[in-house]
Amino acid sequence: MCGIAGWIDWQGDLSDQGAIIAQMAETLQQRGPDSHGHWVSRHAALAHQRLIVIDPLTGGQPMVYQDGDRTYAITYNGEMYNFRELRHELEGYGHTFRTRSDTEVLLHAYVEWGEACVQHLNGIFAFGLWDEQKQQLLLARDHVGVKSLYYAHRGSAILFGSELKALLAHPLVKPEVDATGLAEILTFVRIPGSGIYRNVHELRPGHMLICSEQGTRMSRYWSLRSAPHTDDLYTTAAHIRGLLEDTVKHQLIADVPIVTLLSGGLDSSGLTAMAAKELQHEGRELHTYSIDFVNSAQHFQSTPLHPSLDAPWVKRVSEYLGTHHHTITLENSALVESLLVPLHAHDFPTAGQMTSSLYLLFQAMKQDATVALSGEAADEVFGGYPWFHSEAALSGQTFPWTPAFLGPGKNPLAWLSADLLQKVQLTEHIDQQYRAAIAEVPRLEGEDPLAARRREMFYLNQTRFLPFLLERKDRMSMATGFEARVPFCDYRLVEYAWNIPWEMKMADDIEKGILRRAFASVLPEDVIRRKKSAYPNAQNPLYEKATREWALNILHDPNAPIHPFLDAQVVRALVESTDAGVPGIGLVSLPERLIQINEWLDTYQITLAL
């Protein structure tokens, strides 16, 4: 994994603009701490920060390939899992290679197939490829959106980067946020393709953008398609198992130590079992990692999202599979100290300790390894969350996870000022984005109303909730120079599972029943039957006390930039309330939100265009 940045200007001369492109790349140093480089021609400047995973000696970037009088340059972030097969295919067409890297394979794939090269890729990627002869830039992002890519048009120029901070480092991009961007931050309802900042965009998953002096052309190269599912239960489970075995095998390819995350839940346990089996064939022991919190058992309270502690199940699975397990136990003080890490990694306010704790986990893992397999997307693909099984959620007309982010009650945004609510129209924003998402759902002709509604629910989760989790995983891993791979995001599995009917996904009358059947041969029965438990949090009153005091200090500071956002009387009462920030009630507490928003307004020097 790496950090990429680029600056194209068809009407300007960038030949001596190496300092600015290097400045853009330097903001991404944490994504690629091992090496860096940049390449500049008259109208194109590309930069790269490298995290070495494959081909440490000759895989440096930006990578340039010359074929006669044609020059191609690429800056690439990600992993192409089928690069060995593609290399063999391209060699059959006469291509020769000087490195062992997947980057060079991608360059040659473009030479062979042009823009259609993305149709041949299986991996997680975001890249910018400059065709010097055509004076054309190709930006592309992986099928499901594991790797991020932002871009902005400014006059005759286009700028792009792995993270927003790379764009903000360029003098043409200002930290301006309009009402729509602010609504996205305050509601956690993002608009696909939005980059939060004014006139900044995020390339959507499964899309590519072709840019030339004549203009830009957006193209979607992959999407979900609805069709009748014709496989029986046994064949379906076997096919899922085969896809996952192949995916795990390919995602274990690395020239650096590779491990797995293990929570003791179905998803991570199944992947760990497959990875352990694969490594055993090579005579290697698998190392596994889990997160825990000081005094977690003492403070644990069962909730619908967290019905059980992970620790006993982690021990059960590790011993069963014979892995070398490491438990990373986090102190309360470390959680408080790292609360602002997610803000600076995302470049806008986001969730609190559920994100900062992940950063601390990866920070500890980085001491031993560079790559980990993780279980994200299984719940979105196979229907594991409680709201998939809730009549209220199925009959509702909004995003079912909204209360978990905004808090319970009929008016969870009451802490905001009346003036801000009038200008930003948060409720209307949520409704509008919900309707836009529903309008995109690929329908299946003849499907009964309940099945059609469930299809909507899956679409909402895969295109609106999963991006939050993938963005979180990318930023927190990359903030420590660590790579997280997500086998359940293999587009072949996502495509196949999309059309599996609900009754089959609920095989044996349990959530993700079909996935449990797929893992039945590699996990013990009690693990197979364990109820879904979400990523853990520290249900520690000391954390709640510390963040509440921090938030109150902000409220007492007359110069705090957040004040115009707030209904002072309401917000103070809420923060002083004993349950204002109790972990477990929601995915982010009010004090965490206040702290991050205030810091963002201050350190990013945000200009609001309301």
Give residue-wise pLDDT tens across range 470-485: 999 999 999 999 999 9
How many CB atoms are located within 10 Å of the residue 282 CB?
A: 7
Position 303 confidence tier, pLDDT thresholds 50, 70, 90: confident
pLDDT of residue 589: 92
Q: Is 374 annotated as a binding residue?
A: yes
Q: What CATH number did the domain enclosing 239 receive?
A: 3.40.50.620
Residues ≥6 apart with Cβ < 8 Å to 54: 79, 100, 101, 102, 253, 254, 255
**Residue 437 in domain:** no
How many CB atoms are located within 10 Å of the residue 69 CB?
A: 7
Q: What mean pLDDT comes out for the span 245-262?
A: 95
C-alpha 142/C-alpha 420 separation (Å) is 37
C-alpha 287/C-alpha 532 separation (Å) is 23
Amino acid of residue 536: P
**Residue 451 in domain:** no
**Residue 419 in domain:** no
Residue 582 has pLDDT above 60, yes or no: no
Do 473 and 375 reside in the same domain of the chain?
Answer: yes
pLDDT of residue 506: 98
**Residue 284 in domain:** yes
Residue 320 · residue 567 · CB < 8 Å: no
Q: Is 309 annotated as a binding residue?
A: no
Number of domains in the chain: 3
Do 114 and 6 reside in the same domain of the chain?
Answer: yes
**Residue 141 in domain:** yes
pLDDT of residue 150: 98
Do 146 and 208 reside in the same domain of the chain?
Answer: yes
**Residue 413 in domain:** no
Residue 579 has pLDDT above 80, yes or no: no
Q: Is 606 annotated as a binding residue?
A: no
Do 278 and 319 reside in the same domain of the chain?
Answer: yes
Q: 65: which strand partners?
A: 72
Residue 581 has pLDDT above 50, yes or no: no
Do 500 and 561 reside in the same domain of the chain?
Answer: no
**Where among 195, 220, 245 does a domain terminate?**
220
Share of the chain above pLDDT 70, in %: 98
Do 340 and 311 reside in the same domain of the chain?
Answer: yes
From its phi and psi, is residue 131 left (phi > 0), alpha (psi between -120 and 50) or beta? beta
Beta strand segments in 199-257, E: 201-202, 207-212, 215-220
Do 508 and 556 reside in the same domain of the chain?
Answer: no
The residue annotated as part of the active site, out of 2, 117, 211, 489, is 2
Do 293 and 324 reside in the same domain of the chain?
Answer: yes
pLDDT of residue 584: 39
C-alpha 607/C-alpha 594 separation (Å) is 18
Query: What would the pLDDT profile of 168-215 be if each residue is shown by its tens digit?
Result: 999 999 999 999 999 999 999 999 999 999 999 999 999 999 999 999
Where in the sequence is the domain holding 278, given as residue range(s)? Answer: 233-393+464-528
Q: What average pLDDT does the structure give for the chain?
A: 95
C-alpha 366/C-alpha 33 separation (Å) is 12
**Among candidates 361, 371, 373, 356, which has minimal Cα distance to 326?**
361
Residue 548 · residue 580 · CB < 8 Å: yes
pLDDT of residue 1: 65
Q: Is 375 annotated as a binding residue?
A: yes
Do 508 and 548 reside in the same domain of the chain?
Answer: no
**Residue 428 in domain:** no
Residue 161 · residue 183 · CB < 8 Å: no
Query: What would the pLDDT profile of 356-393 be if each residue is shown by its tens digit?
Result: 999 999 999 999 999 999 999 999 999 999 999 999 99
Do 215 and 242 reside in the same domain of the chain?
Answer: no
Do 327 and 376 reside in the same domain of the chain?
Answer: yes
**Where among 473, 493, 528 does a domain terminate?**
528
C-alpha 48/C-alpha 77 separation (Å) is 9
**Where among 162, 192, 220 does a domain terminate?**
220
**Residue 457 in domain:** no
Do 213 and 237 reside in the same domain of the chain?
Answer: no
Q: What CATH number did the domain enclosing 27 receive?
A: 3.60.20.10
Q: Is 8 annotated as a binding residue?
A: no
Concerning whether 117 is annotated as a catalytic residue, the answer is: no
Q: Counting every residue, how long is the chain? A: 610
